[in-house]
Amino acid sequence: MNYKLIDLGVFGDDRGKLISLEKNNNCPFDIKRCFYIFDTKNGIARGCHANKNSEFLLIAINGSCKVKIDDGKKTEIVNLNSPHTALYLNRMVWKEMYDFSYNAILMVLASTLYDEKEYIRDYEMFLEEVNK
């Protein structure tokens, strides 16, 4: 499966809400890294690459953004607008995050440590690699 939406489950009580991310519970992989994208300027698209080895979980913990997902055969657009829902992305998926709302914070969990060598940043090269 190249991508799926995961309902994270929420612990809520009179004080408010809490969401926990845990391997084999609501996160399908061992979490090695976390980063978040914020203060995104108007009209900017981020990502625009594929990763040979990394799986990701994307969560709009504040605000919203859209994610274009391309597996080399078909393209889907997902609207991320809730801290309750994560978008899981498998390896070798081209992704573009755009239409960030004001104050959007997109948190990303990754199955790998950062390694620039596993990035494919050229779309034609991605198509070549994924259709091999």
DSSP state of 14: T
The residue within the footprint of ligand TYD, chosen from 3, 19, 29, 46 (CB under 6 A), is: 46
95 close to 69: Cβ distance less than 8 angstroms: yes
Q: Which residue out of 6, 19, 28, 49 is catalytically annotated?
A: 49
Among 35, 38, 75, 76, binds ligand TYD (CB under 6 A): 35
User: What is the bridge-based pairing of β-strands 65-70 and 119-120?
Assistant: unpaired
State yes or no: is 49 an active-site residue: yes
Residue 23: which of 31, 13, 12 has the closest Cα? 31
As measured in angstroms, the least distance from the Cβ of 31 to ligand TYD is 13
The window from 46-54, 57-65, 75-83, 84-92 that contacts ligand TYD (CB under 6 A) reads 46-54
Contact 67, 77 (CB under 8 A): yes
| Catalytic residue IDs | 49
